[in-house]
Amino acid sequence: MPAQAVAAAKIVYNNIPKLKASSAEKARAAVRKATTDCQAHARAAAPVKYSTLRNSIDQRILNDGMTGEVGTNLNYAAVQEFGSGSFSEYPGAKKQRIIIKPKTKKALAWPGAAHPVKKVKHPGVKGKPYLRPAAKKVEGPFISAMEAIVKL
């Protein structure tokens, strides 16, 4: 997965000083399991038309095994996750209609339109979250596993 993931979920355990040396490998295993489970849940929940999005959901392990990332670099992945225009749930996004204008002609026209128009104000699309619910599903078991490791 490239460094510029458009939509991603991170699984991080950053209480490394609390870990005993013998527990570090157990923590890494818990991060790997949570990351793999998150990827599986995200792929199962991803909207499918041609399965490009589902197949692009990838994972990687970083920070000496203490960080796992699940995400995709497809340019439309964030729109699928968060929505667009007035439906956007993306943090900091302006909730406004999307203006569509013709690129090479003077007006837009389509079958069934009453007349050609110079621009269209599209309300956007609702998101179909797949990464956030996947991360939420693995959060509880991951925290429980880490708490058990720290208590060892």
Write out the two tokens for 53: 């999005």
For residue 14, pLDDT over 80 is answered with no
pLDDT at 150: 78
Where is average pLDDT lowest: 38-42, 74-78, 91-95?
91-95
pLDDT confidence of 35, banded at 50, 70, 90?
very high
pLDDT at 119: 94
- For the chain, the domains span 1-83+127-147, 84-125
**Angle separating helix axes 24-45 and 131-151, nearest 10 degrees:** 160
Entry pTM: 0.78
For residue 4, pLDDT over 60 is answered with no
Helix (H) or strand (E) run with residue 29 in it:
helix 24-45
